[in-house]
A and B are shown apart, each in its own frame.
Chain A
Amino acid sequence: MIVKFNALFLKQIVVFLLILLISASARSDSGQDISFAYLEKGLTELKDNEKQIALQLMANELTRNTDLHISIKPVFTFAEMQDLIQKESIDYAILNSFHYLNHYGFFQQFISEPVWGVQRSEFELESYVIVAQKKYADKAIKSFSNKQLSSHQPYLLMNFYLDYWVNKSTGQQTQQFFKKIKYVKTASQAVLDVYFKSSDLCIVPKHIFDLTVDLNPAILKRLTIIHQSESLFSPVLTFTFKHVDPLIKQALNNNFVNFGQTPRSQQILEMFNFQAIKPITLKQLTPMYTLFKNHQALQ
């Protein structure tokens, strides 16, 4: 499905909702304050100047029909984030899953269920595909040695998987195996690079490849998927910390569950290029963590 994104329309909505936000903020002065932290370098789908507003809109929607007030706090380094978590200065944190995997032990001390994962495709958990030109179909991975691969750098989890796949299949590090890794501005551009023969292969989320093919089915005449991961990955996670009042947690959980049911929340999801926000148990994340551990073991 193609998510059409109209910047002008978005701006109009942002301005409109900002006004609502200001008025809502004024109203909720007497309510309880909750803090949401996010890594400022994340959320690459949005422009830097829109992240704060977009997240505040999302938070506002999450506190709808409650007397809660969410303040959005940008955090510039993960160390800072850790510090805030340890000090219980923040109640919720929005993070790339790769950070969760990388600091799994740390998070286990502070987070509670459910974890809220974003869904970017029709499936709750994503898979990644390696796409190459058709002439490489049925070729072993070794045939891509010294080739150029295109990838979208901010997709940390995806690039971790690429490392895992190359390492596991070839015993080499990614940087060594490929002649060059070309980081492109968008994931779909990685597919187009292969299509236009700028690169030999690429790694993209499966739904991105599907989207690219939707835009030009002729792509399938030239390209093919040579590898697909299991559907294990949830790219962005929102953690609830243990110190959060259960009543507050319950109130927000209800709004998390219903997020996307209202036109406004649907618009916010479209703004982030998300399809939905779903509750994920820690157990559901375990296979992803297992893969990460295996990758670490291969290092």
Chain B
Amino acid sequence: MFALLVLTIMLFFTFMVIPMQKSALQTTMYTQGVTVSRSIIQATSDAIISKDFGFIVEHNVEVLKNNPSIRSLIVSPSKGDNIKVTQSGWRLLESPDPNLIKLQSKEIVDKLKVNRWQAEGYHFVYPILFSGIKWGWLHIEFSTDEYNRYINEMYFQLVYISAIAMTMIIFIGYFFARWVTRPVSIISNLATQVAAGNLDVRSKINRHDEIGALSNSFNKMVESLQQSKENLENYNQQLEYEVKIRTVDLDLLNRNLDKKVKQEVLQRQEQERLLIHQSRLAAMGEMIGAIAHQWRQPLNALSLVQQNIYITYQMGKLTDEFMSRSMGKSERLINNMSTTIDDFRNFFKPNKHAEHFNINTLLHTTVNLLEAQFKNHNIEISIHCDDDLNIKGFQGEFSQVIVNLLNNSKDILREKQVKFPKIIISTEITSNGISLSVHDNGGGIPDAIFDKIYDPYFTTKEEGKGTGIGLYMSKIIVENNMMGKLYHYNDKDGVTFVIVIPKDFSSY
């Protein structure tokens, strides 16, 4: 870019200077013409006046001999022959070329004849006057070889200087660029070596400029890296030592880990087993309470039957028919109680294999077992379930989930002393399977404990009344054993627990 600028300046300089030089050279030739003309006229004035043409010719021949730049010279008197002297001789002319006659005037006239590229000649016409009287003219034809040579030399010199300037600029530019880039390249190479891990290299560039500053910074950086590397190596050694210690520890830990895991698994299994057992016991306790409620009425009725028999006997009115009727009534009551026992037994009978069971039947059986207890607290239970919904799973575990949910609702309805306590059990077929909802109007679960109710041993009941494992186990049963989902949400008057049984575990 800089080289182009210089070239442009040179060309502009050439464009400006060459015409000036041409003009200066023409002025020089003009001056030379004046000088030569005056010299000739002064030297030959006597000869001109005395018409000593021999002297005029001889002098002019001598002038031409001594001035190779003069091609020809014409002494052109107003009257008479013209004498033309050239480098090769002289001759008389009757009259000069008509074109030259046109140049003859009272003033000095000069004309540079130029063809396309070169000057062909410079014609100078000097009027010869003696005491103001015109005698004639002196025509001098100068060679323009010198003129052309100067111009050509000037062109050559300009080209030469331009070439030299360009070359110098290129060279200087190259060396300057090299001077600038070489240290950068050296530092780059050193940086590459550093990147390859050789931190022993140092830049030896010692300059008082940005490159020098870069070199110093590079050296400081490498020293810093070397220091860091040494620190890292020390740290690494220390780390390796610690790792070895840790490895030994880990080895030791690994060796014990299996054992510990197995122990933990066993503990966990044991804990779960205990939880299940606890939950079953809790459920059984609940159910025993329910059975107790269930049996209370038939036992009273059976007691009344016995009292009636006894009173009738004391009154002497005991008849066969009365006995038969009383025994029949007692038997029905006992059978009814026995059925309750069977139901209870069946309810808690452990299932060894998953089997299909009807949800509606299971719900009614469960509610029947609990019905006396719930009626005792005026809790209304309503079931809205299709008859043909079946689930594949462990019926006892699923019943335990329903019992847990119903008992929790009962407890909260009692605690809140809801005026018209009610529980609604409903089922629904969804795209995911069967959805079973247990809704109560107990006011819902407070936000503070909303997400904690499935945590094991979390309970809001008074000590001794709740174990905190009911909902935990219910979630385990539904989500782990039946691959379903148990969740809950508060609605306008209470809470609704939803059990979703996937299609794979349901049929309808």
Contacts and interface: CB of A to CB of B under 8 A. Distances in A.
Interface of A: 2, 4-8, 150, 184-186, 188-196, 198-199, 214-218
A7 B58 CA distance: 16
Contacts of B317: none
A46 to B, nearest CB: 14
A188 B58 CA distance: 7
Contacts of B92: 218
Interface in B46-99: 51-55, 57-58, 61-62, 65-66, 68, 87-92
Interface string B184-228: 000000000000000000000000000000000000000000000
A189 B91 contact: no
B55 A189 contact: yes
15 contacts: A2-B88, A5-B66, A150-B54, A184-B55, A188-B61, A191-B54, A192-B54, A192-B58, A195-B53, A198-B51, A198-B53, A198-B54, A199-B54, A216-B89, A216-B91
Interface in B29-58: 51-55, 57-58
Contacts of A184: 54-55, 58
Nearest to B90: A216
Contacts of B54: 150, 184, 189-196, 198-199
A190 B53 CA distance: 11
B55 A4 contact: no
Interface string B85-118: 0011111100000000000000000000000000
B90 A215 contact: yes
Given A189-B57, A199-B54, A216-B89, 9 more contacts: A6-B65, A8-B66, A184-B54, A184-B58, A188-B58, A191-B54, A195-B54, A196-B52, A214-B89
Contacts of B66: 5-8
Contacts of A191: 54
Contacts of A195: 53-54
B143 to A, nearest CB: 13
Contacts of A199: 54
> Chain A CB within 10 Å — which of B53, B54, B55, B57 has the most?
B54
A9 to B, nearest CB: 8
Contacts of B57: 189, 192, 196
Contact of B89 (A185, A194, A215): A215
Nearest to A191: B54
Contacts of B87: 4
Nearest to B89: A215
B58 A196 contact: no
Given A192-B53, A198-B53, A185 B91 contact: no
Contacts of A2: 88
B490 to A, nearest CB: 126
B72 to A, nearest CB: 13
Contact of B65 (A5, A196, A198, A217): A5
A215 B65 contact: no
A114 B258 CA distance: 140
Contacts of A190: 54
A8 B61 CA distance: 16
Nearest to B65: A5
Nearest to B92: A218
Interface of B: 51-55, 57-58, 61-62, 65-66, 68, 87-92
Contacts of B53: 192, 195-196, 198
Ordered nearest first, which 10 A-B pairs have the shortest CB separation? A192-B54, A196-B53, A215-B89, A189-B58, A193-B54, A7-B66, A189-B54, A216-B90, A5-B65, A192-B57
B356 to A, nearest CB: 136
Contacts of B65: 4-6
> Chain B CB within 10 Å — which of A4, A188, A189, A190 has the most?
A189
A186 B59 CA distance: 9
A152 B71 CA distance: 28
> Chain A CB within 10 Å — which of B58, B65, B92 has the most?
B58
A189 B88 CA distance: 17
A187 to B, nearest CB: 9
A185 B58 contact: yes
Nearest to B61: A215
A6 to B, nearest CB: 6
A196 B61 CA distance: 15
A185 B43 CA distance: 12
A14 to B, nearest CB: 14
Contacts of B58: 184-186, 188-189, 192
A184 B100 CA distance: 32
Nearest to A218: B91
A4 B62 CA distance: 9
A184 B87 CA distance: 22
Nearest to A5: B65
A193 B55 CA distance: 8
A193 B52 contact: yes
B502 to A, nearest CB: 123
> Chain B CB within 10 Å — which of A150, A185, A186, A215 has the most?
A215
Contacts of B61: 188, 215
A61 B53 CA distance: 40
A198 B89 CA distance: 20
Nearest to B66: A7
Nearest to B52: A198
A215 B87 CA distance: 9
Nearest to A2: B88
Contacts of B91: 216, 218
Contacts of A6: 65-66, 68
Nearest to A213: B89
A203 to B, nearest CB: 14
Contact of A185 (B51, B55, B88, B90): B55
Contacts of B90: 215-216
Contacts of A7: 66
A298 to B, nearest CB: 31
A205 to B, nearest CB: 15
A218 B88 CA distance: 14
A122 B483 CA distance: 142
A198 B53 CA distance: 8
Contacts of A185: 55, 58
Nearest to A4: B65
A198 B58 CA distance: 13
A15 B61 CA distance: 25
A30 to B, nearest CB: 40
B58 to A, nearest CB: 4
Contacts of B55: 184-185, 189, 192-193
Contacts of B51: 196, 198
A257 to B, nearest CB: 30
> Chain B CB within 10 Å — which of A6, A198, A199 has the most?
A198
A297 to B, nearest CB: 35
A196 B44 CA distance: 15
A6 B405 CA distance: 141
A16 B1 CA distance: 48
Contacts of B52: 193, 196, 198
A248 to B, nearest CB: 38
Nearest to B84: A216
A186 B47 CA distance: 14
A162 B444 CA distance: 168
> Chain A CB within 10 Å — which of B57, B62, B66 has the most?
B57
Nearest to B85: A215
